Amino acid sequence: MLPARFEYQIVSSVEEAVAAKTQGGDEARFLAGGQSLLPMMKLRFATPTHLVDINRISGLDTIERHNGHVEVGALVRHADVAASDQVSGVVASAAPWIADPLVRNLGTMCGSVAHCDPEGDWNTVLLATGAEVIAQGPAGRRMIAIDDFVVDFFTNSLADDEMVVALRIPAAAGASGGSYQKLERKVGDYATVGVAAHLELGADGRISAAGVAMTSVAPINCKARDAEALLVGNAPSAELFAEAGAAAAAASEPRDDVRGTARWKRQVVAAFTRRALTEAAEQAQS
Amino acid sequence: MTDTTTTSPEIGGIGHSVKRAEDARLIEGQGNFVDDIAMPGMLYMALVRSPVAHARINSINTEAAAAVDGVVAVVTGELMDAHGLAWMPTLSGDTQAVLATDKVRYQGQEVAAVVATDPYIATDAAELVDVDYEMLDAITTPQQSLADGAELIRNEKEGQTDNLAYTWETGDAAATEAAFANADRVVSLTTHYPRSHPSPLETCGIVADVNSVTGQATLYMTSQAPHAHRTLFALVAGLPEQNIRIVSPDIGGGFGNKVPIYPGYVVATAASLLIGQPVKWVETRTGNLISTGFGRDYYMTGELALSNDGRIQAMRVDMLSDQGAFYADAQPTRYKAGLFHVCTGSYDFGNAHIKCRGAFTNKAPGGVAYRCSFRITEASFLIERLMQTAADELGIDPAELRMRNFIQPEQFPYETPTGFVYDSGDYPTALRKALDAAGYDELRAEQAASREQGKLMGIGIAHFTEAVGAGPAHTYDIAGLKMIDSAELRVHPTGKAVLKIGVKTQGQGHETTFAQIVAEETGIPASDIKVIHGDTDDTPYGLGTYASRSTPVGGAATAMVARKIADKARHIAAHLLEAAPEDIERDADKFFVAGSPDQSVSIQDAAFAAYTNLPEGMEYGLEDVTYYNPPNLTFPYGSYVVVVDVDPDTGVWKVRRMVALDDCGVRINPMIVEGQIHGGLTEGFAMSSMQWITFDDDGNCIGSNFMDYLIPTAWETPRFELLETVTPSPHHPIGAKGIGESATVGSPAAFVNAVVDAVAHLGVRNIDMPVLPDRVWEAIETANT
């Protein structure tokens, strides 16, 4: 399992990284944790001619909470997220389910988001919370809503000369909760089915905002908008969550494959949506 | 655990959990694996593998690859053919392509090889070899393969007009039919034991060093059977056998994967011979998973004829195996489906008839015994799943059904309807002990109560009997080589010893346990004994390590040679004590005259005297060799009980308890035995829960890396509770039986039975392996409608 020939460049600032990427273009790749990129290179599914190693850029490895959101830098590892007291709800719930301990120690949250693997967990979580991606190019920074960032499988909306420098995850002001439910065949496996749920409750105890998103049951990570619409304005209840589960299952587009039949995956989406919402509501109410 | 030791911990004979002698070097990175070997002028080889499952080769263009700076040679089938090496015999009497010349017959088949000065250059250049394939229909199941009008896969094979690889049957067909005709009840089960892969951590590899002047071929190879491989190399390549030295250094796991001779070994050896420089080939992970010997892939229909009170009268089996493109099972010559005919299991009944067919498909060949002792895994799975089916159909508790049908302790030696003679066993005691440890009656009560609340929990039982330690020369050979094994023991003047054995460890701990056998028999401390294995120039002949045969055959040879040494030492002691040899007794490490233990000669004193002070007429030295031809196989057995909880919403099941009782006769090193059982149970859990190699309709392998082919980690592997009984083998010198494969053989049925038991009340009778959550949920759904 030997990769094809490539140039390797270490950069020490975001500006330098962007310049290197601008020069390398489509054939250049940023290297952060490398937990998806390097295996793909060894399998020769990816043959970048230029690797831009961003690991020595200082200031990108922090998780900071300010102005109603949590900002996760480009060099924050999954394990840092799992250990952080700055994150809560569905983000905190999903972090221990990312890959396996070895991958979590090196892989980065931003890298996983930018990779846009439809079987990856983080984009589902970000869709449920309504997060944004902060990208930097030669002309400076811009914010991209996660819905607009995830374009297709393994395809994001970054320009060739842009780099993800951080994620902005909204931190709810009031009562909120979230949960990520994942069915995996073994530790380190991609999700067979994943469901992220995020709930905010108003002063009246009714649901004021809801995010439900799914992993591995559609060509890309996607929101269950019908389920979200059902939830908002209603009081949490087992019946409501069962209805939302059915709506999410209906919105999913799973396929038969070695992991299981499509109709079973729909059933799991329904069950997981119910369970995730129940947990989210319990958190929000506590 | 019962203490059966007769030696002190310092001597460390049988029954001591001596720490593994090999671990320190392996843990500290001082092992020596094939890929660690480097030589001056060594070249690197990369294989070009077929990306498609079935296609005619129109042409192979090697120009671009050969032009790459650093490429020394590009080897194709045409070149191999010029040296008569484009095809080679398999271990089942078929032939297999070394490098494809006419057609490719499975995805991953070896088509060409690039030899270069650097592994990266070889890999890059291999991508430039341009093969023009003309696509043919891919056949991915044996049922398709045997259907009318199926494309002939083995069109090159003279006389082959269909895709049938073999047929074989055994047992008494007429008597079995009669028993079925007269039976109160007949239960049947059709199931597929899916294709799996041994997937050792270390893939296969070789450093081939052929001296262009002397013709001496030194082959550092990942081999579980170096001596057999040497002889086969001599027979196939026509090299004089004295010029072939096979060195199997540290091996990173075998599980049967390293029994066959693979095309990569042959091509690297030929390349070294032609180029005159050493050539290293180390297989990629994907290459290992898609092309080397798989395990299982048996489609089985089994039936039991029973009386109304659950007594088995006969068994009938119809089996169809998927052999892949070449029939290459590593198995004893006279049997076409390994020892599958041991499928009558632990039960006493008169008649059985077993009919087997195998078919060629466009999948990798191999059919190695993946930790299963020649297809006993499939056999044991079938009978133990059938027992669960019969229990459910007849409404008899599955433990009780087994108790009613067990071969009783006083019936041993017991001849089965298919001709095995079981050596020893006490099955009822074993099952009772396992059930008691699990709290069986309480579990059944809990199950009844939890069903009332809509919860699903199941209790699965498997009681397996294995046939291991091939084997007696009158019955067992592989490719004509009798399955004997050997040991040579040299005791140096200072009383330290070197033991050389024909078997070869791949992690089983031979360097420890075989020293313990010598310690037991001679009194030389195990820590004073160096065990040498794997180098054919430095060890006596043997058929190697697989099929749990090391202890039954090589271990017996070791005990016998140690006894010869102890006997000579006794004669020397008699000389030193000025007594008659027949008056000398031995107590662990000392010889003394009967009745006078105060005056003694140590084994070390006797060793020194063997080189310095001998009785008149005795030959100098203290060394000997034994070749052991076992009188019978050994028959280890076990009773496993698994408790699972099933989530009715998702079909996900979790193991709550796993109680495993094993009886492998005398345990030489209890810690190592338990380690073997833990590993085997983990592999059994893997196959039952997640592990299979699948193919799409075009014959593309789904499972070509560890993201797609699943190996359980410590996280999902259940906790195991181990128990034992000890029923020595009456014919083995130290009463030991094989243990390496028991748990892989026995446990899959226990896991599957547990899940089926959880949903049996809904009418579910079978869920094929791997028991994936969707299959459980679908089975419940189907039963509900």
Kindly state whether residues B274 and B402 are assigned to the same domain: no
Interface residue B777 vs chain A (CB under 8 A): yes
Alpha-carbon gap, residue A97 to A81, rounded angstroms: 11
In a domain, B171, yes or no: no
In a domain, B158, yes or no: no
Q: What is the pLDDT of residues A131-179, one digit of tens each?
A: 999 999 999 999 999 999 999 999 999 999 999 999 999 998 889 999 9
Mean per-residue pLDDT, B315-342: 96
Rounded (5°) CA angle B614-B616-B621: 35
Kindly state whether residues B559 and B697 are assigned to the same domain: no
Is residue A26 predicted with pLDDT exceeding 80? Answer: yes
Q: What is the pLDDT of residues B78-96, one digit of tens each?
A: 999 999 999 999 999 999 9
Alpha-carbon gap, residue B344 to B171, rounded angstroms: 11
Kindly state whether residues B214 and B232 are assigned to the same domain: yes
In a domain, B712, yes or no: yes
Alpha-carbon gap, residue B186 to B402, rounded angstroms: 16
- Range(s) of the domain holding residue B426: 298-470+632-784
Q: Percent of chain B scored above 90 by pLDDT?
A: 97
Q: Residues B77-84: contacts with CB within 8 Å, 24+ apart?
A: B77/B101, B77/B111, B77/B112, B80/B267, B80/B270, B83/B270, B84/B238
How many beta carbons lie within 10 A of that of residue B148, not counting itself?
5
> Of A2, A43, A261, which is closest to B778 when you measure between CB atoms?
A261
In a domain, B7, yes or no: no
Q: What is the pLDDT of residues A196-252, one digit of tens each?
A: 999 999 999 999 999 999 999 999 999 999 999 999 999 999 999 999 999 999 999
In a domain, B511, yes or no: yes
Is residue B128 predicted with pLDDT exceeding 70? Answer: yes
Coil, strand or helix: which one is B142? Answer: helix
Picking from B11, B38, B432, the residue whose alpha carbon sits closest to that of residue B220 is B38
Picking from B427, B504, B468, B446, the residue whose alpha carbon sits closest to that of residue B634 is B468
In a domain, B592, yes or no: yes
Known catalytic residues of B are 224, 371-372, 741
How many beta carbons lie within 10 A of that of residue B1, not counting itself?
12
* Both structure tokens of A141: 């920074």
Q: Look at residue B366 in the predicted model and tell me its pLDDT.
A: 85
Residue B406's pLDDT band (boundaries 50, 70, 90)? very high
Kindly state whether residues B117 and B264 are assigned to the same domain: yes
Interface residue B123 vs chain A (CB under 8 A): yes
Interface residue A198 vs chain B (CB under 8 A): no
Kindly state whether residues B302 and B353 are assigned to the same domain: yes
Kindly state whether residues B684 and B772 are assigned to the same domain: yes
Kindly state whether residues B449 and B502 are assigned to the same domain: no
**How many domains, chain B?**
3
Picking from B187, B172, B181, the residue whose alpha carbon sits closest to that of residue B350 is B172
Alpha-carbon gap, residue B266 to B96, rounded angstroms: 12
Contact between residue B450 and residue B457 where contact means Cβ atoms under 8 Å apart: yes
Q: Look at residue A67 in the predicted model and tell me its pLDDT.
A: 84
Kindly state whether residues B606 and B648 are assigned to the same domain: no
Residue A45 phi, psi dihedral angles, 5° rounding: -75, -30
Distance from CA of A188 to the nearest CA of B (A): 8
pTM, two decimals, is 0.97
Q: What is the pLDDT of residues B287-310, one digit of tens each?
A: 999 999 999 999 999 999 999 999
Kindly state whether residues B232 and B335 are assigned to the same domain: no
> What CATH number has the domain bearing residue B701?
3.30.365.10
Query: How many CB pairs (< 8 A) connect A and B?
Result: 60
In a domain, B181, yes or no: no
Closest residue in A to B690 (Cα–Cα):
A185
* Both structure tokens of A96: 């221990």
Picking from B679, B761, B750, B765, the residue whose alpha carbon sits closest to that of residue B717 is B679
Q: Among residues B628, B659, B676, which one ends one of the domains? A: B628
Could you report how far apart the first and last alpha carbons of chain B are, in Å? 50
Picking from B367, B358, B380, the residue whose alpha carbon sits closest to that of residue B467 is B380
Coil, strand or helix: which one is B618? Answer: coil
Cβ neighbourhood burial of B607 (10 Å; 0-12, 13-18, 19+): buried
Q: Look at residue B466 in the predicted model and tell me its pLDDT.
A: 97
Q: Report chain B residues whose CB lies below 8 A from the CB of A43.
A: 286, 705
Q: Look at residue B2 in the predicted model and tell me its pLDDT.
A: 55
> What CATH number has the domain bearing residue B126?
3.90.1170.50
Q: Do A259 and B772 touch (CB under 8 A)?
A: yes
Q: What is the pLDDT of residues B163-220, one digit of tens each?
A: 999 999 999 999 999 999 999 999 999 999 999 999 999 999 999 999 999 999 999 9
Q: What is the pLDDT of residues B354-377, one digit of tens each?
A: 999 999 999 999 887 799 889 999
Q: What is the pLDDT of residues B681-739, one digit of tens each?
A: 999 999 999 999 999 999 999 999 999 999 999 999 999 999 999 999 999 999 999 99
Q: Percent of chain B scored above 70 by pLDDT?
A: 100
Contact between residue B326 and residue B97 where contact means Cβ atoms under 8 Å apart: yes
Kindly state whether residues B274 and B313 are assigned to the same domain: no
Q: Among residues B571, B604, B628, which one ends one of the domains? A: B628
Q: Do B652 and A261 touch (CB under 8 A)?
A: no
Kindly state whether residues B566 and B683 are assigned to the same domain: no
In a domain, B269, yes or no: yes
* Both structure tokens of A276: 């995730």
Picking from B406, B191, B182, the residue whose alpha carbon sits closest to that of residue B314 is B182
Q: Do B124 and A4 touch (CB under 8 A)?
A: yes
How many beta carbons lie within 10 A of that of residue B149, not counting itself?
4
Classify the C-alpha dihedral B720-B724-B730-B732 as positive or negative. Answer: positive
Q: What is the pLDDT of residues B732-761, one digit of tens each?
A: 999 999 999 999 999 999 999 999 999 999
Q: Is the peptide bond before B226 cis (omega within 30 degrees of 0)?
A: no
Which of A44, A257, A268, A274 to mutate to test binding with chain B, by most B CBs within 10 Å of its CB?
Answer: A268
Q: Average model confidence (pLDDT) for chain B?
A: 96
Interface residue B69 vs chain A (CB under 8 A): no
Q: What is the pLDDT of residues A263-278, one digit of tens each?
A: 999 999 999 999 999 9
| Strand B55-61, strand B130-135: pairing | antiparallel
> Of A1, A4, A190, which is closest to B284 when you measure between CB atoms?
A1
Which residue type does A240 have? L
Is residue B3 predicted with pLDDT exceeding 90? Answer: no
Cα dihedral: B397, B402, B408, B412 (round 10):
-170
Distance from CA of A249 to the nearest CA of B (A): 13
ipTM of the complex as predicted: 0.95
Q: Do B715 and A43 touch (CB under 8 A)?
A: no
Classify the C-alpha dihedral B390-B396-B400-B404 as positive or negative. Answer: negative
Closest residue in B to A1 (Cα–Cα):
B284
Q: Look at residue B268 in the predicted model and tell me its pLDDT.
A: 98
Kindly state whether residues B733 and B714 are assigned to the same domain: yes
Q: Among residues B581, B609, B628, which one ends one of the domains? A: B628
Which domains, from first to last, does chain A contain?
7-53 (3.30.43.10), 63-170 (3.30.465.10), 175-285 (3.30.390.50)
Alpha-carbon gap, residue A58 to B621, rounded angstroms: 71
